[in-house]
Amino acid sequence: MEELYGYSYDEIDVGMTDVFSKTVTEADIMAFAGVSGDTNPVHLNEEFAATTMFKTRIAHGMLSSGFISTVFGTKLPGPGCIYISQNLKFKAPVKIGDTVVARVTAVEKMDDKKMIKFDTICTVGETKVITGDATIMIPDRG
């Protein structure tokens, strides 16, 4: 397993960015439904989903948004960071087989609190599926 690196507050510059990508599978959707308790049939029942505006099953929005957390916890800033807030807008559905790319970009440093505001976005191809921003607290690394 690759060793994870955690950036200190001072090592992060506005404009720094990192990504995580994952192809959403049937197993991912079933596991998320089981863990979260969200058994909405639009995620689990093809017959039901065919009657919706999506015409097929879609992934849970929070499953896709969880990939943003993956970037924060494993890449930028990395291990030990703490989510303070997250705003999300769900722009388009994610379907089984879609590859979601989650990207975070540092946009503002709050020196007095050792917190950083990030723009967050998830895309499938050229389509924005989730947009938003997050505030992350960076632990002392000393």
Element (H, E) at 33: helix 26-36
Q: What is the mean pLDDT of the chain?
A: 96
pLDDT digits (tens, 9 = 90+) for 51-63: 999 999 999 999 9
Task: Report the phi/psi class of residue 25: left, alpha or beta, with left for phi > 0 and alpha for psi in -120 to 50.
Answer: beta
Beta carbons of 35 and 63 less than 8 angstroms apart: no
Domain boundaries, the chain: 9-137
Alpha-carbon distance of 136 to 110, in angstroms, equals: 10
What is the structure's pLDDT at 1? 61
Q: Give the model's confidence band at 50: pLDDT under 50 very low, under 70 low, under 90 confident, else very high.
A: very high
User: Stretch 110-137: mean pLDDT, rounded?
Assistant: 98
Beta carbons of 124 and 63 less than 8 angstroms apart: no
Q: What's the CATH number for 9-137? A: 3.10.129.10
* Of 109, 136, 85, residue with least CA distance to 10: 109
3, pLDDT greater than 90: no
pLDDT digits (tens, 9 = 90+) for 120-129: 999 999 999 9
Q: Is 124 helix (H, G, I), strand (E, B) or coil?
A: strand
2, pLDDT greater than 80: no
User: Stretch 70-86: mean pLDDT, rounded?
Assistant: 96
What is the structure's pLDDT at 9? 95
Looking at this protein, which amino acid is placed at residue 87? N
What is the structure's pLDDT at 90? 98
Beta carbons of 120 and 104 less than 8 angstroms apart: yes
Neighbours of 33 (CB within 10 A): 16
119, pLDDT greater than 80: yes
User: Stretch 89-95: mean pLDDT, rounded?
Assistant: 98
Looking at this protein, which amino acid is placed at residue 43? H
